[in-house]
Amino acid sequence: MKKWQFILASTAMTTVLIAPIAEASTYTVEKGDTLSKIAIKHNTTIALLKEWNNLQSDSIYIDQKLIVSKKQNTSNDTNSLAPSTQNTTTAIKPSATTAKISTYVVVKGDNLTKIASKNNTTVAKIMQWNGLTSDKIYMDQTLIIRKEELASTGPIVSLTGPSSSGTTGGSSVGTPSQDILNANQEIAAQLAKEKKIQTAPSMKNVEKYTDVIKLANSLLGTPYVYGGNSVDGFDCSGFVNYIYSNAGFNIPRKSSLDYFMNDTTIVANPVPGDVVFFKNTYIPTISHMGVYIGNNQFIHAGSSGVEVSNLSYEYWDMRFVAFKRFNVVK
């Protein structure tokens, strides 16, 4: 049975009327764009672009609409926040444009394709609305599955929900804090079992690593496809599997979590060609991987396709777990 959750004043279905309090300018992403280029072009910062557009990484895709500036209204009208030990009510002032948002709570067996099909939308839109960097999801996660622009001149609308639990309208929103704690313990236990590699790969495998990186760079811009393992599109583990296999390594096709737990060992001093793992990108445990290419950078299949990212970037730095090496690499 589907678990539906709509936010606002109805027992079964709720609608949120969200009125902007700032005038926003938008920009449509073009081929070759990065957040850095867009920020420079529009005299703003990457941090503000991420905040305005609810981005959780620096991944963007062609034709994506981004807010690139916000001008605050000078109206003397104010929004009110009514504190309570049980509930928090925020009064939102209406304007000419509002958004109707519908949400869905993920159940066992769901994936973004199924959810998109059920709700007459697309995977790309669900990922955009929810700031997802991958199309993998977890049970009890609350997803926006519809966002419609409406005209509204109605009264002020209140959003009410228990402030202590982080829920809205009395319905539970996925807050996997305990799951994250459990995942962290599992990851730490796995790394503690491994004998850290202190040496570099053999010269033969270093040469193969060179082929891995050359092939990876040749695939920059290849689109992201869930479960993808070909030049038509990749997901993160499919990308690693493809480039390693084509460089001569016998690497089975598995998930990033499976690679982390069963096929790799932590390294003390990573070299270009080793793999890097991340946690809590869409589920609390290991959920993303890429190939280290040196200079604190890695190449990976992100939500906008194959790209190079920097490990010092806050999003990746917060989710970094370890550099590892496939066990077949000696």
Q: Distance between CA atoms of 248 and 228, rounded to whole angstroms?
A: 20
Weakly modelled stretches of the chain, pLDDT under 50: 1-21, 73-98, 150-176
What's the CATH architecture for 178-326?
Alpha-Beta Complex (3.90)
Q: Catalytic residue among 50, 288, 324, 325, which?
A: 288
- pLDDT score of 287: 94
Q: Domain 3-21+73-175 falls in which CATH fold?
A: Membrane-bound Lytic Murein Transglycosylase D; Chain A (3.10.350)
Active-site residue, from 18, 105, 137, 236: 236
Q: Which pLDDT does position 173 carry in this prediction?
A: 38
Sequence ranges of the chain with CATH classification 3.10.350.10: 3-21+73-175
User: Pick from 63, 69, 27: which is nearest to 48 by CA?
Assistant: 69
- Catalytic site includes residue 236: yes
Domain with CATH 3.90.1720.10 in the chain: 178-326
In sequence order, which residues have a C-beta less than 8 Å from that of residue 244 and are 6 or more positions away? 212, 251, 326
DSSP-derived secondary structure for 51-109: HHHT-SSS---TT-EEEEEEEE--------EE--SS-EEEEE---SEEEEEEEEE--TT
Task: Kindly name the residue from 50, 136, 300, 325 that is annotated as catalytic.
Answer: 300
CA–CA gap between residue 94 and residue 76 (Å, rounded): 14
Active site residue 205: no
- pLDDT of 23: 63
pLDDT reported for residue 135: 66
Q: Over the stretch 167-200, which tens digit does the pLDDT of each residue have? A: 323 333 344 468 888 889 999 999 999 999 999 9
- pLDDT at site 91: 37
288 is catalytic: yes
pLDDT at 148: 62
Pairing type for strands 233-234 and 297-302 reads: unpaired
